[in-house]
Amino acid sequence: METIESMKRISRKNIISPKGFKAVGIHCGLKHKKNDLALLVSEVPASVAGVFTTNAIQAAPLSVTKKVVYETKKMQAIIINSGNANACTGKQGMEDAFTMQQKTADHLGIDQSLVGVASTGVIGEQMKMEPLLTGIQKLKPMDTLEGSIQFSQAILTTDTVTKNTAYATVVDDREVVIAGVAKGSGMIEPNMATMLGFITTDANIESEHLQQALKGITDVTFNSITVDGDTSTNDMVLVMANGLAGNKTLTPDHPDWQSFVNSLHAVAQDLAKMIAKDGEGATKLIETTVTGAVSNEEARKIAKSVVGSPLVKTAVFGCDANWGRIIAAVGYSGATIDPEAIKIYIGNTLVVDAGEPIPFSEEKLLIYLKQHEVKFLVELNQGTGKGTAWGCDLTYDYVQINATYRT
């Protein structure tokens, strides 16, 4: 990561912090009371990049938005609803997604091909189009904190908190701001899960290079979190860059390229960790770092295996320093290991050395495991690969939330 001199977290942590963006969220009637319709708009068409769920079953809005990202390669607005995923809804669902796109474009007076669509909520139910289309006509994007708060609330489903972050860096002696907002709580598994992420920046960068930057960052941030092993049908991360900071066009050859990429990485990592921490019913964030793997990819694979293990997650919930569950998850990860070379730390306490148990204070680790953030370190001593993954504990509330999701 960069030093604080070239990148800083800023206090205006909202999606409209970069120049030229407006946002709004309202209640249109898809959900009982809470905001359920959101709109993000750039003053000018922006370069766009996107990553999407790897689930073979993909919701209608993804088809619409992929065309914007991969064919138009510019985006000026994104319309989002919560309360209905518009997934597994057949031809009618696809027509509804295109109607959302067209009506939003008409409302804003822009070309339909510049509008992205995202939906989140219950799978397999047709969209209630009448309240949604009436709601679109009521949307009045604002460049105020109120508008950004409404937006971040309107995209939520079972989330307990909104998720916002922003950083500023310097490119060509100009301040460039990158901000992000996300939703995600359940059905979270590496490789794009039940999450939506929207990132804005006023940097001047072409879509091709923005896509390059986002793709490289995704694997070590959004694809390094897991809550419950379920990969959803709707999920995406979009980045819009409108160029209003006025810097020279960013490319990998630009002297400030790494400053921009590091700031984008910081935004993505913040959002990913917030999603993991807000897992349905979760009380703790679990962070696992693996060092000494044969590659970075293998290190991340092992780290995700540990944070995704139901037995590890329940042990953390119960404040049980059961390192056997950690080493078991390392073993079944499928990565290259030598059992006799493994070290494991819970917090700063060494509990396994050379694959064998080390005496430790149960009382000390009980106190540590009661914290809201728990860290594991696994040293493999096989190579130079390093990776980190994030997850959460598994609680009684997770079962309750998902047992009654539709009812």
DSSP string of 352-386, one letter each residue: EETTEE----HHHHHHHHTSSEEEEEEE--SSSEE
Mean pLDDT to the nearest integer, 401-407: 53
Instruction: Indicate which CATH number applies to the domain containing 65.
Output: 3.60.70.12
| 170 phi, psi to nearest 5 deg | -120, 125
- Domain tally for the chain? 2
Query: Model-level pTM?
Result: 0.79
Sign for the pseudo-dihedral over CA of 290, 296, 297, 298: negative
Our answer to whether residue 134 is catalytic in this structure is: no
Which residue in this structure is represented by tokens 């096989």?
A: 382
What mean pLDDT, rounded, does the chain reach? Answer: 89
For position 400, what pLDDT does the model report? 62
Model pLDDT for residues 192-226, shown as the tens digit of each residue: 335 799 999 999 999 999 999 999 898 888 888 76
Q: Pick from 276, 304, 332: which residue ends a domain?
A: 276
pLDDT-above-90 percentage for the chain: 71
Out of 194, 201, 233, 288, the active site residue is: 194
- Higher-confidence residue: 308 or 179? 179
Rounded to whole angstroms, the Cα distance separating 171 from 188 reads: 34
Q: Is 161 helix (H, G, I), strand (E, B) or coil?
A: coil
- 2 is a domain residue: no
| Residue 142 pLDDT > 60 | yes
- 217 is a domain residue: yes
pLDDT-above-70 percentage for the chain: 90
Q: Which residues contact 257 (CB under 8 A, 6 or more apart)?
A: 250, 251
| Residue 91 pLDDT > 80 | yes
| Range in 21-30, 201-210, 225-234, 328-337 the model is least confident about | 225-234
Q: Is 92 helix (H, G, I), strand (E, B) or coil?
A: helix
Q: Pick from 254, 276, 298: which residue ends a domain?
A: 276
> 164 and 47 in one domain?
yes
Bridge partners, 404 (sequence order) = none
- 125 is a domain residue: yes
